[in-house]
Amino acid sequence: FVGSGGTATEVGCWAHARRPFHELLDRSPRAREHLELIQALYRIDHVAAIVADALHRDPVDERTRLRTAEAPALLAAIRVRTDAIIASEPEQSELAEGARYVRNHWAALTRFVNDGRLPLDNNAAERQQRPIAVGRKNWLFVASEDGGTWAADLLTIFQSCRLQSLDPIAYLTDIMSALIAQDVDPLSLTPAVYAAQRRKVA
């Protein structure tokens, strides 16, 4: 990420892109057309998950395969309709505003096609932030800047564990023992690597 000296790539959120069209669903046939095409993008991932599970394939690889094969045609249709709405609808209309959002974020919204690791939306990330948002109201203070840093580190570890279906307390207990007992590379003990190693053993 940028703060660590690396780079960040923007990936668009189709949940945000679809929202204006969903709100106009009962009032606009054009909004319905847009929504159906966006839903078809989500169906690709749904089918990929079913196929990967049934055939014991890597879900990321299966998503990439199906997206690469099927998403470009859907995206082309979405773009044609997006441009047509912008050209023909009143500038201040809700439909035109929704279409402009899609056009203005097009590069980010289409970045998922060739990379099955990228989700279609950031709903999962927003759900993970909810406990933190609730916590800010409940905790109110962290006593010091160092306390804030420690809290951020621990919350990051806990959420990373949950993403890997790990018990955070069991994970921390295990890696602390490993760190104390021997000289190990901390990067080999991240929740993602730790979970992958456990899956190999199992």
Q: Is the pLDDT of residue 99 over 80?
A: yes
Q: Is the dihedral of CA 50, 53, 54, 55 positive or negative?
A: positive
* pLDDT tens column, 20-45: 999 999 999 999 999 999 999 999 99
Residue-level pLDDT at 77: 98
- How much of the chain exceeds pLDDT 90, in percent? 63
Q: Is the pLDDT of residue 3 over 60?
A: no
C-beta separation of 116 from 67 below 8 A = yes
Average pLDDT, the chain: 90
Q: Which residue has the tokens 């991932």?
A: 45
Residue-level pLDDT at 170: 93
pTM (two decimals): 0.75
What's the rounded Cα separation, in Å, for the pair 99 and 78? 10
